[in-house]
Each structure stands twice: as C-alpha cells, then as structure tokens.
Amino acid sequence: MQVVATAGHVDHGKSTLVRALTGMEPDRLEEERRRGLTIELGYAWTALSSGERVAFVDVPGHERFLGTMLAGVGPVPAVMFVVAADEGWMPQSEEHLVALETLGVRLGLLVVTRADLADPAPAMNQARARLAESGLGQAEALAVSGRTGQGLGELREALDRLVAALPAPDPEAPVRLWIDRVFSVHGSGTVVTGTLPAGRIEVGDELALDGEPMRVRAMESLKEPVTSVTGAVRVALNLRGRVAPERGHALVTPGGWTFTDLVDVRLTPARDADGSVPQRLTVHIGSASVGCAVRPLGGDVARLRLARPLPLHLGDVLLLRDPGRDPRRHDLGHATRVLAGASVLDMRPPELRRRGAARERAAALETAAPDAASLLRAHRLLRAEELAAMGCGVPLGRPVCADWHADPAYWSSLGERLPEVVRRYAAEHPLEPGMPLEIARHELDLPDRRLVTALVRPPLTVADGRIVSGPSDLPPPVARAVQRLAPELSAHPFLAPEAVRLAELGLGPRELAAAVRAGALLRIADGIVLLPGADVRAAALLARLPQPFTVSEARTALKTSRRVAVPLLEHLDRKGITERVDDAHRRCRSLSPGQTGYMVG
C-alpha cells in the first residue's frame, strides 16, 4: 500500500476527486457535508490497475485549517496537488506548496480539476510554473473533472506510476506513528489512526506513547482486521494502556527515538517568507503542532525549545509557522505563514552558559550534517543505543569499547593525554604501584571506567585496577614481550629466561638491547637478562650467607643455575658489590667480617 495526501486551495475539488477515485466519502462530518467544506482529515482508498492499493489522506484547503492540513501531509511521502481549472493558482495553493517544499515532499501529481467548468490549460500552465520552482517540479500534470469523470482513467494510471516510483520504506525502521484521529469503540476501548511511514507493527506489540507503554490489542488497515502491518500504510490501532492518546502524539518503538523538547536546528527559510523569525512559533511535525520558542544562535542555526517533548531523529524536518499572523493583512500572493523548515542537527544540545557560547555553537554546527559523525563530534562519546535513539542506528566503524562510540579526533587526543596523566600521578604518588583506573577516569572526565582501560596502550598496562607504567620508549611488540616476561621473572627473579623462551617471545639480540637501553631489563651477560634491580636483590641475599661463599652456595641461595649464577657474580664483581677472595670464594664488600644483613638503601 502507498499513502498519498491531497493539497490545494479551498473548494478546488480535492474531496470530490478522492470520492470519484475511491467511491468513498472523505468528508464524514455532518458539518462538512452541510457546509461543503473539509474540516477534518478524510480517509479513503482504492486499488489501482497494477493491484497496488493507494490510500488517500484528504486535507482541508481552508486557510483556517492549515494546521490540520499539515497534520495530514506530515507523515505522507507523496501528494496529489489539486488546482481548479476555473480559479487557477490561489493563496492556499501557494501556502500548501511552500509547506510541502519545506517538508521535503518531492513526489506527486499536479491535478487540474473542474476541467468541465473552464479550459484547464491556463491554470495548468500557471501551476506548473509554480511547481517548477519547488521540489515538486517533476510532478506529472493532468486535467480531470471529478463531476463528469473526464481524465480519471489517465489519473489512475499516473497514480500507478507515482506509487511505483515511491521509495520502499524500511520495514525494520523504528515505528513512529503520529496519531491523527482518536475515538472510542463501544466494547473495545480506544482506537487511534495514523499513517505509518515505515517500520512494522504487530498485534501484541508494546509501543510507547509519551514514554508510557501501550499494548496493541488489535489492528485494522483499510477497515479490515490485520495482525501485522508494514509502512507505508494507513492503520487503526486498538490500544490498551494508562495514558489517553491524543492527536499529535506519537506511538513509537521503545528506545527507537529521542524524546526531547530542546533541539538545535538549521533553518531553511520558506520561499516567499519575509525572513523575520518571530520568537514564538508553532512547530509542525507529523500530526503534532507544538508551541516553540526560537533562539537564533548565529547564521542559519537556531535553538528551539518546544512546549512539549517530541520523539525525534536527527535530520527530521520541523515546519515553523507563525500562528499569529493574519494572512488577510498581506498581499494574498505572498501571504504564506509557513516561515521555515528546521532540520534537526542535535537533540541533546549542550547548555549555553558562557558569553559567546551561542556563537561558538553556531560555528560548530555550521558545517554539521545530520549524521553520526557530526553527532560524535559534538558529543565526543555516545552509546550505541543513544545513537540509535537519535536515528543513527548504523553508526560508522566499531565501538571503541563495549557499546561506546567515540569521535576519532577526541579519542586519539585522550590516548595522548593518558600517559601524561599517568606520569604525573606516578610523580605525585611515588610509593603507589600505579594510577587507579577510577582516578584516571575522573581525570579524563570519562563516563565509564572501561573507556580508560580501552585507552591503555603499551608501555602502559592495567594490573589490579591500576594503570602500571612500564618502561618508556619501547616499540610496542618489545614492550608486550617484556610485559609477558615480567611475571615469570617476578616469581623466579634469578632464573633468566632460556634462549628458547626469549625466541618464543620474539626477543632477539636487537630487541633485548632495546629493552635494556630503555631500562626494562637488566643485562647480566650476552643472552642473560633479569628484571631491573635483580642485582641489588641478589646482593642482599648473598650478604646473608656466611662470608666468603662459593659459586655453588650463591647459586643455591639465589635459587638459580650456574648458567646465571656465574655471570651474575661477575656482574656483581664489576659493580663492586662482591669481590673475589680466592679462586673458589667471594665475599660481599663493605661488610665487616662476620657481619650479615647487608641492607640495600
């Protein structure tokens, strides 16, 4: 099914045309029939020769009902633009066109009605010229008579071409059903109707209405019971829930939209608008019309505070209208009250407290596109679910950790700051084994400790909830190898890794030299490395031995092999910690004979 709205000046034959196409009565109210005037939205449908069904939302043309017209057109992707042959282009032709253009409706038909009353050519030429300047410039144009039926066959064919050209809406899109009618059905409770532009609704689904859960008890589409619908479709839902539905509110997929009353937007002034944007306006989106205060931030960027929160996505277009302006006081040709379109750039904008903050914000948003990259630039970090609720369900790239997405530039600047922060902490707390993750989280002003962990790169590592500062200036593979070796050497401080183990870790002569240079390892002899400070610990252990001692006694005390003990003792000799007494014995220097308990300062 596809949904098409009507548009056009009062009395130009919209409802008559819908009636002629569908055999159904779009004007249901007694008052409408008595006055020959559409007041409320009307609904009717028909099957085209392709078999595709098309539902019409018939809108009022009278200037007083522009709000209702916008509610009808709001969620609909295409329009049947009606101009009467005998009257031609009129003020609400203009106003409706400006509204459609502002809302971004680009698909439709131009239908010149009442062709039995006058030659349709002049009206058609005039209307085509106006449409050519708008987004509807490609619309096919036809002349018909709703009274005689002339041209209706061609119109049905043109409608078939139109609906075939409409993009197929995404059935997996989050649901946002703007309610356009509410009524009670005796015995089954509250029923609402609306145009579902995309997504799927099934009986039993739980949707949210202003944050309150609402269960779909039953559904009808085109007056027939259904269990599942996908947009675009006209649908009536029988609901159970605690809130009373109203027109202008929306049923949404829970978590699929951001409810907000504060948005930063880019304004696109409507054609023919005089450029002034009053501070108090009415915002239209879907079937909603909501009061709003405008704060220009600079350039074409403004902040809107809405009278009530609306479920929005990035890139949604709000139509701004001046409700107070009386069109009769203007030259009728330019009497549009549609002032601008406002496309949503950010639905969680930062507070603007400092002087100059507004201008900075405008500058930041000047080049912003309604996409995830721009959002992340503004917010730096967002959870996947927040992005989804803002309408960026498929964000760029992978999360930086868990479900967090980060602005790439911000993330790399954090990565650069972290080592500095850790260094400073180490300097201020020399006795602590490292910087607690939680303190680093606080320092970097991050919302989640896991983000800190994700930022830690060699030579930094995380151990026991702290960021441990490893040796600096090491190539990452070497740093990683040293980090793997360190626990083995901590457990057995004098059991230098065998050549096989070093090879396994990728520590060849060059890597070992780099690690030694960086102070990550202590070289005892070629291919024999220990952790820095191992020699001092060895000296302390050897000092406890009866002096002098043999290599064998030293080896036992140090729990190591001759392979390490011999070069280690030679290393200690060189450092002046031990000295030879004779061929078989050494002793610790600077110890008086018999003294033990060599203390290392």
Ligand X SMILES: Nc1nc2c(ncn2[C@@H]2O[C@H](COP(=O)(O)OP(=O)(O)OP(=O)(O)O)[C@@H](O)[C@H]2O)c(=O)[nH]1
Residues that bind ligand X (CB under 6 A): 8, 10-16, 36-38, 60-62, 113-114, 116-117, 145-147
Distance CA 368, CA 381 (A): 16
Please state whether the peptide bond connecting residue 593 to the residue before it is cis, i.e. omega within 30 degrees of 0.
no
Between 35 and 223, name the residue whose CB sits nearer to ligand X. Answer: 35
Phi–psi pair at 257, nearest 5 degrees: -140, 155
Specify the length of the chain in residues: 601
Distance of alpha carbon 385 from alpha carbon 253, whole angstroms? 13
Return the H-helix or E-strand segment holding 321.
strand 317-321
Least separation, in Å, of the C-beta of 385 and ligand X? 44
Please identify, using beta-carbon distances, which residue of 69 and 290 lies nearer to ligand X.
69
Among Mg ion, ligand X, none, residue 11 binds (CB under 5-8 Å by kind): ligand X
Q: Among ligand X, Mg ion, none, what does residue 77 contact (CB within 5–8 Å per kind)?
A: none
Phi and psi for 68 in degrees, rounded to 5? -65, -40
Minimal distance, residue 38 CB to Mg ion, in Å: 3
Partner interacting with residue 147 (select from ligand X, Mg ion, none; CB below 5-8 Å by kind): ligand X
- Closest distance to ligand X from the beta carbon of 24 (Å): 13
Here the contacts of 214-223 (C-beta below 8 Å, separation 24 or greater) are: 214/239, 214/240, 214/241, 214/243, 214/245, 214/251, 215/239, 215/240, 215/241, 217/188, 217/189, 218/188, 221/1, 222/1, 222/45, 222/53, 222/55
Closest by CA to 423, choosing from 409, 449, 443, 446, is: 443
Is residue 200 part of the contact set for Mg ion (CB under 5 A)?
no
Q: Residue 108 touches which of Mg ion, ligand X, none (CB < 5 to 8 A by kind)? A: none
- Output the DSSP codes for 98-111: HHHHHHT--EEEEE
Query: Do 547 and 587 meet the contact criterion of CB atoms below 8 Å apart?
Result: yes
Instruction: Fill in the DSSP letter of residue 245.
Output: P
DSSP states along 397-431: S--SBTTEEE-HHHHHHHHHHHHHHHHHHHHH-TT
Q: How far is the CB of 328 from ligand X (least distance, A)?
A: 17
CA 52-55-58 angle, to 5 degrees, is 150
Which lies closer to ligand X via its Cβ, residue 36 or residue 433? 36
Name the residue nearer to ligand X (CB basis): 89 or 425: 89
Q: Which does 208 bind (CB under 5 to 8 A by kind): Mg ion, ligand X, none?
A: none
User: Which entry of ligand X, Mg ion, none binds 197, CB below 5 to 8 A by partner kind?
Assistant: none
Contact, 179 vs 250, CB < 8 A? yes
Q: Which is nearer to Mg ion, 63 or 386 (CB)?
A: 63
555 is in the binding site of which of ligand X, Mg ion, none (Cβ under 5 to 8 A by kind)? none
Asked whether 79 and 1 are in contact (CB, 8 A), the reply is no
Q: Please choose which of Mg ion, ligand X, none residue 586 contacts, taking the beta carbon within 5 to 8 angstroms, the exact cut-off set by kind.
A: none
Nearer to ligand X, 36 or 350 (CB): 36
The mark string for 111-150 relative to Mg ion (x by CB under 5 A, - otherwise) is ----------------------------------------
Given a contact cutoff of 8 angstroms between Cβ atoms, the answer to whether 337 and 324 are in contact is no
Instruction: Report in angstroms how near the CB of residue 61 gets to ligand X at its nearest.
Output: 3
Q: Please list every residue from 16 through 55 that binds Mg ion, using CB under 5 A.
A: 38
Strands 107-113 and 78-84: parallel
Part of the chain binding Mg ion (CB under 5 A), chosen from 9-17, 96-104, 306-314, 327-335 = 9-17
Kindly state the smallest distance separating residue 116's Cβ from ligand X, in Å: 5
- Name the binder of 436 from ligand X, Mg ion, none, CB < 5-8 A by kind: none
| Pair 507, 541: CB distance under 8 Å | no
Shortest Cβ 270–Mg ion spacing (Å): 24
Residue 24 or 307: the one with the smaller Cβ distance to ligand X is: 24
Q: Does 14 bind Mg ion (CB under 5 A)?
A: yes
Q: How far is the CB of 87 from Mg ion (least distance, A)?
A: 14
Please identify, using beta-carbon distances, which residue of 180 and 386 lies nearer to ligand X: 180
Does 15 sit near Mg ion (CB under 5 A)? Answer: yes
Q: How far is the CB of 42 from ligand X (least distance, A)?
A: 8
The torsion angles phi and psi of 233, rounded to 5 degrees, stand at -160, 150
Task: Rank residues 7 and 347 by Cβ distance to ligand X and give the closer one.
Answer: 7
Closer residue to ligand X (CB): 146 or 311: 146
- The answer to whether residue 9 forms part of the interface with Mg ion (CB under 5 A) is no
Least Å from the CB of residue 62 to Mg ion: 9
* Burial class of 39 by CB neighbour count within 10 A (0 to 12, 13 to 18, 19+): middle
Measured torsion, CA atoms of residues 507, 513, 519, 521, in degrees rounded to the nearest 10 = 40
Residues that bind Mg ion (CB under 5 A): 14-15, 38
